[in-house]
Structure 1
Amino acid sequence: MPKTKQELESRGNFSDDEDHPLMDLDNGIVGWESQHDPENPSPFSSSVFAPAVGRTQQELGDTSSILGSLAVTSYLFGYGTGPFLFSPLSEIYGRRFVLSAANVIFVLFQVACALAPNMPALIAFRTMAGIGGSAGLTTGGGVVADLFTTEQRGLAMSVFTFGPLFGPVLGPICGGFIAERAGWRWVFWILAISGGLLTLLVMVFNRETNPIVLIERKTERLREELQNADLKSCYKTANSESKRNYHHNLLAPFRLLLSPVVFLISAYIATIYGCLYLLFTTVTHVFQDVYGWSTELSGLSYIGLGLGFLTGQAAFGLLGDRIIGHLKRRNEDGHFEPEMRLAISILFAPFIPISFFWYGWSVQSHTHWIIPIVGLFPFAIGAVGIFSSLQTYIVDSYTRHAASGIAAITVFRSFAGALLPLAGPPMYAALGYGWGNSLLGFLTLVMIPVPVGFYLFGWRLRRKFSI
């Protein structure tokens, strides 16, 4: 347990392989040229508070290590709840309305966090902010499916994935300086201000992309203009307006999560994501404890991860869609299969265990501080390749339910990201940094056969378990 003031401050199925075509609606093109993927500062918000936990606990009079970890990871419990609501609603009522409403929730509860009177209240408010922030992640996969063809989708998902991966790295770097210079409450005031501005921009400039909603709106206008009640959307079926079908759409994330394809892919992503957040909640403490860094400087320990994410992003962007094109040409009929997406993930997967062995034993041996920072670099490269390729695989496999597929992944990974960091401090206390990180390295090494198996045999499961 920390005893000095300095130590206290340091705590702190419809399954298909078809693409939605670009559509001419009211003489306008709905395509990537005229649209953008709506973003919010949600991923950044998930980790920006990490360096400020120690000061927050000191001010609020609560030094429990469990509550300190929950103050960071409770945001992810919200991430694990919101997608079950927002993703199916975005497939029924459209992406734009759902995203705007969720962003408002996100901003309001950032204000509540800034005014929190105690740690339990702060944890509750962070959870609610996470619920609102989850919509940007889960609807984003649907927007990519709406706007991009198969050949473009890999790069688009890589750009989309960059925010959820790089945001949590940038968060602690900024959070450390904000907490040191202005106080921990200003971490949330800045999130509320930036989030509010982006929410207004989304409300003004964002446009609907869901083809089902767009065609239905145009059909309704034509019914009125032509006085023809028999006109129906091409996406509508005989039972599409029934209560049963509504419940079918609303429960799509649950059904997808229970299918072997999404479950196993989600388990692998959740393992990597949980390890990532374990690093987020422990790296600053490692550099404060082992290397004597201050709260303000400790956020800079994430630079290795940040540079790794940038490198992985560039590598995936250059290689991803090219590999898909090569595999399509090798196919007898030139047909695209979603499993082709997984080829590149097999190349990126070994970077994760290598990073844990490197980082853990360099800290254990008290090497120069640059060595463990460089050791985190391969982890970030591997995470980009795994996240981008596996999430795109789900989008390709369940195109019309892409948002629900991403929701299922987000729920699984968010709970892993919230719970696994709680095991970090006792694990390091029992095993040390060397064997503790080696344990994570062996765990991620054992998971590598997941993308390999799906690359070879995934098509059978995908066609058997459609929704």
Structure 2
Amino acid sequence: MFKKGVETEKPREPYESSTSSENGMPDAVAAVDIELQEEEQQQGLPAALDWDGPDDPANPRNWPFLDRAFQTLPPALFSFVVTLASPIYTTATQQIQQEFNVSFETAVVPLTTHTIGFALGPMLAAPLSEMFGRKYVYISSFAFFLIFTMASGLAPNIAALCVFRLIAGCLGAPALAVGAGTIGDVWDTHKDGGLAAMFFIMSPFLGSSLGPVFGGLISYHRTWRWTMWLVLLVGGPLYLLFIPFMKETYKPAILKKRAIQRGTPLPPRPKGSEALKKILTVTLVRPVHMLVTEPIVIALSLYTAFTFGVLFLFFAAIPYSFGTQYGFDRRESGLVFCASVFGILLGAVVFGAIDRTIYKKKYEEAIANGRKVPVELRLIGAMVGSFGLPLSLFWFAWTCKASVHWIVPALSVIFFGFGMMLIFLSAATYLVDTYQYLAAASAMAANGLLRYGFGAVFPLFAIQMYTNLGIGWASSLLGFISVTLMAVPFVFYRFGKYFRERSSYDTIKG
């Protein structure tokens, strides 16, 4: 099951990024389809359907630019809404404590269950996409996400709120999981799709950071239930706007429909149980295996998971810190997260500058000279961003006190968003470029499992840690851990080739 993969489409040059393959950005659905095509070829079955030629108008990459740009909006904005919903109520946890007569730790559990849903959702998205295509995954899953978000706003007790939020997270996650595949369907990320890919990747980070901002503003004048209504007020109109105009972008779904219209016989496909087994392998079994056997996946996933965990911990720690030191209410505490938004945007700009001035230049030189560019150049962004985390955490730790103006610790959050964005973008592109297509989808799934796992757990101990250790030492403890993790991009920049060549999976060698 875990042997090295086989190239399934055109042979890839050593210096060519895996994101430039026909299927674009890796996702579990397309990876499974490639595996199924491999089995057909090995068993001597009819070849899988393909485009009529490079200029086939049915190919989403040949659609008009404005059409492709429009198809980019639904996955990006749906991802924004889904992640906005996750922390949006956290600045109003005191209201939940009072209404349901529960502790703060219990009031935070709905955030945990919603985030756990993000980890479980891809296992739902992959089989649905394989059977029906991406369009219908968006149509069905996002509609039910809105329904269970409404149910969360109507929850009569904390147990119901936790359950409804878990289901909403599971149903919202397909937008995150399938979205990467949609971007890869319609754009060549090496030619003209870089901005679209960046827009999609930034959306969930902006949603997570803006959640407390909007939640704090609305819960200041209304109850916590209005935070759920706000998600509906944002997500509902977007759903009604996009759904009628969305097109199917998934290659097998397009070709299957066209083959039926033309009367072309379809190649036999494995039974549902066999396809489901492969889907679970890509989305769960192989990612878990990589998390315990692949040093590259382990280290980079741990680093991105820690940054994501701290972000979710801040959903509780920042209201507590600014509330105790400066008397901030939920509205003012939520606005502090605007600094994180600014940092995320700054990090994306810096990553783009590094990509264009360093990586793209080396990439073009490699093509011209017939050489391969070291994929470790992808880690330069993480090396820069790694300084942002400890700087932010230590800055916050020892300036968040009543004797220092509140703007000083608030500004520190900018560097956290900056470092988080650079670390994630660098780690994601490095994993995608290091592993061949089949394993790349599982490597990113492994990263997501650990990332959302940390995001679910960290808020649960935030207040205890900040209460027992104090703001200074609690934030410093996180700062010391971030200093230790700073070594990750530097170590793999220097020794990445060593680990790639000894990987049990199919990776870029040399």
TM range (shorter): 0.7 to 0.9
Match of residue 86 from structure 1? 125
Aligned residues: 444
Whole-angstrom CA distance in 2 between matches of 1:97 and 1:248? 21
CA deviation after TM superposition for structure 1 residue 400, in Å: 5.5
Match of residue 406 from structure 2? 369
**What code does the residue aligned with 1:326 have?**
K
* Unmatched runs of 5 consecutive residues or more in structure 1: 1-12, 233-237
Mapped contact 2:141–2:174 kept (Cα < 8 A): yes
Work out whether 1:256 is the aligned partner of 2:291.
Answer: no
Work out whether 1:170 is the aligned partner of 2:210.
Answer: yes
Work out whether 1:412 is the aligned partner of 2:443.
Answer: no
**What code does the residue aligned with 2:417 have?**
A
CA deviation after TM superposition for structure 1 residue 292, in Å: 0.7
Q: Tell me the alpha carbon deviations over residues 254-302 of structure 1, each in whole angstroms, 9 at most, x when there is no partner.
A: 2034211434322221111001111122102211111011222221121
Work out whether 1:110 is the aligned partner of 2:149.
Answer: yes
Match of residue 354 from structure 2? 319
Whole-angstrom CA distance in 2 between matches of 1:459 and 1:240? 37
**Aligned match of 2:479 in 416, 427, 441?**
441
Taking a change above 3 Å as real, the CA distance of residues 318 and 411 of structure 1, as seen in their structure-2 partners, is same
Mapped contact 2:110–2:166 kept (Cα < 8 A): no
Work out whether 1:59 is the aligned partner of 2:99.
Answer: yes
Mapped contact 2:23–2:181 kept (Cα < 8 A): no
Work out whether 1:394 is the aligned partner of 2:427.
Answer: no
**Aligned match of 2:171 in 132, 135, 140?**
132
Whole-angstrom CA distance in 1 between matches of 2:123 and 2:493? 28
Choose 206-215 or 14-23, whichever is displaced more: 14-23
Mapped contact 2:309–2:451 kept (Cα < 8 A): yes
Taking a change above 3 Å as real, the CA distance of residues 426 and 14 of structure 1, as seen in their structure-2 partners, is farther
Mapped contact 2:91–2:330 kept (Cα < 8 A): yes
Secondary structure, aligned partner of 2:146: helix
Mapped contact 1:398–1:405 kept (Cα < 8 A): no
Percent of aligned positions with the same letter in both sequences? 31
Whole-angstrom CA distance in 2 between matches of 1:465 and 1:142? 25
Work out whether 1:298 is the aligned partner of 2:333.
Answer: yes
**Aligned match of 1:74 in 89, 97, 113?**
113
**What code does the residue aligned with 2:448 have?**
T
Matches within 5 A, 1:31-50: 31=61, 33=65, 34-35=67-68, 36-37=71-72, 38=75, 39-40=77-78, 41-50=81-90
Match of residue 230 from structure 2? 190
**What code does the residue aligned with 1:293 have?**
F
Whole-angstrom CA distance in 2 between matches of 1:322 and 1:243? 48
**What code does the residue aligned with 1:353 have?**
P
**What code does the residue aligned with 2:324 have?**
D
Taking a change above 3 Å as real, the CA distance of residues 20 and 457 of structure 1, as seen in their structure-2 partners, is farther
CA deviation after TM superposition for structure 1 residue 148, in Å: 3.2
Taking a change above 3 Å as real, the CA distance of residues 336 and 200 of structure 1, as seen in their structure-2 partners, is farther
Matches within 5 A, 1:129-278: 129-152=168-191, 154-222=194-262, 224=263, 229=265, 232=267, 243-254=273-284, 255-259=286-290, 260=294, 261-278=296-313
Q: Tell me the alpha carbon deviations over residues 357-404 of structure 1, each in whole angstroms, 9 at most, x when there is no partner.
A: 111111147411000011111111111111122223334435467665
Choose 433-442 or 244-253, whichever is displaced more: 244-253
TM-score by length of 2: 0.79
Choose 259-268 or 148-157, whichever is displaced more: 148-157
CA deviation after TM superposition for structure 1 residue 92, in Å: 5.6
Work out whether 1:307 is the aligned partner of 2:345.
Answer: no
Q: Tell me the alpha carbon deviations over residues 132-167 of structure 1, each in whole angstroms, 9 at most, x when there is no partner.
A: 111111112222333333525654432212111111
Secondary structure, aligned partner of 1:213: helix
**What code does the residue aligned with 1:138 have?**
A
**What code does the residue aligned with 1:446 have?**
T
Mapped contact 1:356–1:379 kept (Cα < 8 A): yes
Choose 106-115 or 304-313, whichever is displaced more: 304-313
**What code does the residue aligned with 2:99 have?**
E
Match of residue 19 from structure 1? 21
**What code does the residue aligned with 1:323 have?**
I
Match of residue 459 from structure 2? 421
Mapped contact 1:78–1:130 kept (Cα < 8 A): yes
Whole-angstrom CA distance in 2 between matches of 1:197 and 1:374? 34
Q: Tell me the alpha carbon deviations over residues 330-373 of structure 1, each in whole angstroms, 9 at most, x when there is no partner.
A: 54524456443222222222111111011111114741100001
**What code does the residue aligned with 2:302 have?**
A
Q: Tell me the alpha carbon deviations over residues 61-118 of structure 1, each in whole angstroms, 9 at most, x when there is no partner.
A: x131211221333211111211222145435643222222211221011110111111
CA RMSD of aligned residues (A): 2.8
Mapped contact 1:25–1:218 kept (Cα < 8 A): no
Match of residue 3 from structure 1? none
Whole-angstrom CA distance in 2 between matches of 1:183 and 1:423? 25
Mapped contact 1:179–1:187 kept (Cα < 8 A): yes
Match of residue 27 from structure 2? none
Choose 404-413 or 307-316, whichever is displaced more: 404-413
Matches within 5 A, 1:328-339: 328-331=363-366, 333-335=370-372, 338-339=375-376
**What code does the residue aligned with 1:344 have?**
G
Mapped contact 2:323–2:329 kept (Cα < 8 A): yes
Secondary structure, aligned partner of 1:131: helix
Whole-angstrom CA distance in 1 between matches of 2:82 and 2:274? 34
CA deviation after TM superposition for structure 1 residue 314, in Å: 2.0
Taking a change above 3 Å as real, the CA distance of residues 274 and 74 of structure 1, as seen in their structure-2 partners, is same
Whole-angstrom CA distance in 1 between matches of 2:6 and 2:107? 43
